[in-house]
Amino acid sequence: MQKLVVIGAGMATGRLLEHLFEADPAAYEVTVFNAEPRGNYNRIMLSPVLSGEKSYAEIVTHDDAWYTANKVTCRFGERVVAIDRDRKVVTGERGEVPYDKLVFGTGSDPFIVPCPGHDLDGVVAYRDLDHTNRMVESAAMPGARAVVIGGGLLGLEAAAGLRLRGMEVTVLHLSGHLMDRQLDPAASYLLQKDLERRGIAVMTQASTKAIHGDGHVAHVELEDGTELPADLVVMAVGIRPSARLAREAGLEVGRAILVDAQMRTSDPDVFAVGECVEYAGHLFGLVAPLYDQAKVLAKTLLDEEDAFAVREVSTKLKVTGCDLFSAGDFAEGEGREDIVFRDPSRGVYKRLVIEADRLVGAVMYGDTADGNWFFGLIKDGTDISEMRESLIFGPAYQGGAAQDPLAAVAALPADAEICGCNGVCKGRIVEAVEGGATTLDAVRAETKASGSCGTCAGLVEQIMSVTLGDDFVLPAAKPVCPCTDLTHEDVRRLIKARELKSQPAVWQELGWNTPNGCHVCRPAVNYYLLADWPLDYRDDPQSRFVNERNHANIQKDGTYSVMPRMWGGITTPDELRAIADAADKYGVPTVKVTGGQRIDLLGVPKEQLPAIWGDLNAAGLVSGHAYTKGLRTVKTCVGTDWCRFGTQDSTGLGVKLEKMLWGSWTPHKVKLAVSGCPRNCAEATCKDIGIICVDSGYEIGVGGAAGMDLKPTEPLVKVVTEAEVFEWVVAFMQLYREHAKYLDRPYKWLAKVSLDWVRETLADPAERAALNERFAISQSVYQYDPWKEHTAAEQERRYQPLADLTLEAAE
Amino acid sequence: MNWIDIGALDDVPLRGARLVKTHAGCVAIFRTGEAEVYATSNTCLHRGGPLSEGIVHDRKVTCPLHNYVYSLETGEVVGPDAGRIATYPIRVEDGRLLLDGDAVGKRSAA
């Protein structure tokens, strides 16, 4: 067996070893050196790890078991110090290893702007897990501020991740617009707006002069004199191929290690793949060509013919909610024409660049569904003169009427690229499916399609659907959590069908693999049980998130906020006096008027909660449930009481609705509003349920959102009387309570079951009556003031320490 | 060992926790089973979240602020993050909770 030594456990060498072991597991005895103290993981997915959407464990591509199974000697956490090509020996920090064949996969080093202060503590690059962990650590400091230098792909992913972790983030970009290598200024403008909407500050044409601080970074100084306070500075300005070791070993090196199309360096027994490679004047940073190289090198090492070729690559940004796509060349130039589509209110922009009847570039923002189709046209150099008129509308509009998305997928040619990261075309996926791969996981295992950044998973499923026809069942949604393989929908269905009425019954009967769940499934199961069996099941405070257990919202310093209900946003001088007295008596640091038309008292320690609630109760105020997945507020305008435009008693209606719905638990929080006329002063059209009063009655809208997503309500029904409003609103609430997945707001639930289905269900008067009746049963149990209950002595004790040993005399 | 009676077992709800103030700082008392209890530092290593307010599952607790998970047996962070919080000897006798006073007192002197 020949000895193969690989320097660097990255995505390219990982893929190389996979191909090698797959083709001939007995060909080589492999040793892998890696400077990082771990094996290969999916570096593309560091951004979701940074933002907290994924854990490190989820992005590991080759675990210890894999290396063991393939008999790889792992020298992780060990740097290679020298290579002696005459003796064919690699020298690591802990000793020598001889080789027959040697592979460089040394990757690249982040480029650090050599400004004064770049070596201060708190200045990090964004390249590997250690960097990511340091950024997560910095983000943990309350009120921490980050400056990200570099507004390219990596910098923006870093910025978005840090922002999601709660940091104040500013992005500095040297050029005039973000991602200037992938986007034109118009698309970049939309991107910048989206980022700013998330609270990320963007400064373009910003040149860093120096980083200041005493040991640790304190602020960043720009050339124009601006000073930005910072606890963390992330350098994401680019990468440099890591070729020092190769140069010292006497290999030919240009900007990176020079290789031929077989990935061979100037030494016939030494090869290189990945970001450390220069081939025909090209350097490589995206994963797709790296994987191509890995495939070629595997063949070369097994003495098979293959040659690497540079191909077009497309780009996507992995920032949840920012949809952008760019491919090809979109610079303006002689003989080039643009086709542009803009829909500013939807934030959609598409630009196609055409030269000599061929598509040469495409930039899309906001709606990137057709990206792969355009990318195919660019790669193939298809003559587009025939379809030019409707080209920008995508494949669905070619050749007649609009088609459904499946038809568009069916129309793609076999060589249309589906997975850009892994270079998998439609034909390869169809082949795998016809060969028996009938699940997404199976297709992924066989073709690698959707295995890296994952954005093409939906497309792969559509191809499977087209190929398998009726045999294809869309894969089940994600399990609730690692405690079970069942989805939320399964659990809800089984709780009803098998009449499971306790949490232990759910864990046992449905085969939970943990003794009593976890923080993810426990609150969900607790909700499903109390929603389905209000009379049989008792709410379990130990399965509640802290806010719902303590009936107050925990704040970042461990104190709580207290918010009494103000029915329909109406209050009285007596109530206000009671609130003011309580704020004085308990030294409440912050009194805030909220967007839900009530008053929040922030900064109350847990021990004082029962006492302050008792005082507020005495003035007739009850819990506002501002902490629950339940009814929050009903916002109103003054309606016919005062307003000269009011058409109905919107205030009265809001108060009645709130008195009817308060106390109910729901899958997620529910907010209502009632506006007295279409001028909509109560902002009813972005609420979960919003009512607009008109002369002839009431328009009930549902499924609005004004949080992470912004979405107007859609009309549910128009009714004439207040009684009908109550009947419909309660029926809608109960339908949502009985069917939605825990933590889905109504708009998310509606997107799954469709508004049409809800309308159809509620159109039946008998169904509405039954839903109203079930809601009333639930309210008979759950409509009570928890504050009142918890000021009682036996409950009040819960809010005090079990014991205070500091009061006893010290020894 | 210097066992101090800190209260009744039933004062701590099953799969719940209570707080004890000590010279070594706040200690969280967790009840993971009918008569199974653990005592650890109340303070999450991440942002100081009060662990006694977390959801208790198996022999673990999840911090209520940002979902760090700790093993109550070792005090180690479970999962990709790393770190360890202090744990303290505690036992149940005749329905009473006994905490080791030396363990929670000594640390204050250090």
CB-based contact A554 B65, cutoff 8 Å? yes
Tokens, residue A597: 């038309």
For the segment A292-329, what is each residue's pLDDT rounded down to a tens digit?
Answer: 999 999 999 999 999 999 877 777 666 666 788 888 87
Q: List alpha helices for B1-110, DSSP H.
A: 101-109
CB contact under 8 A, B67 and A519: yes
B85 CA: distance to closest CA in chain A (Å): 17
pLDDT at A402 over 50: no
Which residues from B are below 8 Å from A803, CB to CB?
A: 6-7, 20-21
**Do A384 and A391 form a contact (C-beta atoms < 8 A)?**
yes
Q: What is the pLDDT of residue A451?
A: 73
Average pLDDT score over residue span B34-40: 93
Q: Which CATH architecture has domain A545-623+785-811?
A: Alpha-Beta Complex (3.90)
Q: Which fold has domain A407-538?
A: Arc Repressor Mutant, subunit A (1.10.10)
**Two structure tokens written together for A79:** 């740097």
Q: Name the residue among A57, A805, A806 with its Cβ closest to that of B80.
A: A57
Interchain contact B22–A (C-beta under 8 A): yes
Query: Which of A54, A507, A512, A802 is the mutation pick for testing B, counting most B CBs within 10 A?
Result: A802
Distance from CA of B44 to the nearest CA of A (A): 11
B23, B34, B47: which to substitute to probe chain A, counting the most A Cβ within 10 Å? Answer: B47
Is A806 close to B57, i.e. CB distance below 8 A? no
What residues of B are in contact with residue A797 (Cβ under 8 Å)? 11
Q: How many CB pairs under 8 A join A and B?
A: 96
CATH superfamily of A123-237: FAD/NAD(P)-binding domain (3.50.50.60)
Q: Residue A99: which H helix or E strand, with range?
A: none
Residues of chain A contacting B53 with CB distance shorter than 8 Å: 546, 549-550, 554
- List of chain B residues whose C-beta atoms are within 8 Å of the C-beta of residue A558: 48-50
Q: Where are the alpha helices (DSSP H) in A83-141?
A: 129-139
The pLDDT of residue A384: 87
**Which CATH fold would you assign to the domain A323-385?**
Enolase-like; domain 1 (3.30.390)
Indicate the residue of A544, A798, A801 with minimum beta-carbon distance to B20. Answer: A801
**What phi, psi does A131 have (nearest 5°)?**
-60, -45
Q: Select from A514, A798, A811 the Cβ nearest to the Cβ of B58.
A: A514
Tokens describing residue B25: 């700082």
CA–CA gap between residue A417 and residue A413 (Å, rounded): 9
Mean pLDDT of B58-87: 91
Q: All domains of chain B, ordered by start, with CATH?
A: 3-106 (2.102.10.10)
- Residue ranges, comma separated, of all CATH 3.30.413.10 domains in chain A are 633-767
- The predicted model gives A480-506 an average pLDDT of 88
Find chain B residues with C-beta within 8 A of A518's C-beta: 55, 57-58, 60, 62
Angstrom distance (rounded) from CA B61 to CA A736:
31
Closest CA to A625 of A682, A676, A564: A564
Point out the residue among B57, B67, B79 whose CB comes nearest to the CB of A517.
Answer: B57
Q: Is the pLDDT of residue A76 over 70?
A: yes
Residues in A closer than 8 angstroms to B16, CB to CB, are 541-542
Task: Give the pLDDT of residue A399.
Answer: 55
Rg, chain B, Cα only:
13
CA triple A30-A36-A42, angle to 5 deg: 80
Question: What pLDDT is attached to residue B57?
Answer: 95
Residues of chain A with CATH 3.30.390.30: 323-385
A810 pLDDT exceeds 70?
no
Virtual torsion, Cα A523, A528, A533, A536, nearest 10 deg: -30
Does B92 contact chain A (CB < 8 Å)?
no
How far is Cα A431 from Cα A67, in angstroms, rounded to an integer? 29
Q: Which residues pair with A560 in a beta bridge?
A: A554, A604
Identify all chain B residues contacting A553, using CB atoms and an 8 Å cutoff: none
pLDDT in tens, A724-775: 999 999 999 999 999 999 999 999 999 888 899 999 999 999 999 999 999 9
- Chain B neighbors of A57, CB-CB under 8 A: 79-80
Once rounded to an integer, what is the mean pLDDT over residues A152-177?
A: 90
Residue ranges, CATH 3.50.50.60, chain A: 2-109+241-301, 123-237
Secondary structure (DSSP) of A646-679 = --S-HHHHHHHHHHHHTT-B-SS-EEEEEESSTT
* pLDDT reported for residue A476: 53
Q: What is the CATH number of domain A2-109+241-301?
A: 3.50.50.60
The percentage of chain A sitting over the pLDDT mark of 70, rounded to a whole number, equals 96
Summarize pLDDT for A323-356 with one digit per residue, the tens.
888 888 777 777 888 888 888 777 788 889 898 8
**Residues paired with A697 in a beta bridge:** A694
Q: Work out the average pLDDT over A154-167.
A: 89
Distance CA A207, CA A200 (A): 18
Determine whether A348 is exposed, middle or buried from the number of CB atoms within 10 Å of its CB (0-12, 13-18, 19+): middle
Q: How far apart are the first and last CA of chain B?
A: 18
Q: What is the pLDDT of residues A185-207, one digit of tens each?
A: 888 888 888 888 888 999 998 99
Cα separation, A483 vs A513, whole angstroms: 5
- A458 three-class SS: helix
Block residue for tokens 């008027």: A593
Query: Is A472 exposed, middle or buried, given 0-12, 13-18 or 19+ CB atoms closer than 10 A?
Result: middle
B4 in reach of chain A (CB within 8 A): yes
Task: Name the average pLDDT for chain A.
Answer: 90
Interior/surface letters A558-571, b for 16+ CB within 10 angstroms, e for the rest: bbbbbbbbbbbbbb
Percent with pLDDT over 90 in chain A: 60
Ranges of CATH 3.90.480.10 domains, chain A: 545-623+785-811
Q: Which of B22, B47, B60 sits opposite A805 (nearest CB)?
A: B22
Contact (CB, 8 A) for A544 and A742: no
For the question of an ipTM over 0.90, the answer is yes
Helix axes A153-164, A129-139, angle to 10 degrees: 40
pLDDT of amino acid A317? 67
Give the pLDDT score at B107. 46
pLDDT at B110: 37
Which residues does B42 contact at the CB level (< 8 Å), separation at least 6? B19, B25, B26, B27, B28, B50, B51, B52
Sign of CA dihedral A185, A187, A188, A189: positive
| A60 vs B contacts (CB less than 8 Å) | none
Name the residue with tokens 């209890």. B37
CATH 3.30.413.10 fits A633-767, yes or no: yes
Closest CA relative to residue A356, chosen from A375, A387, A379, A335: A335
Express each pLDDT in A589-619 by its tens digit: 999 999 999 999 999 999 999 999 999 999 9
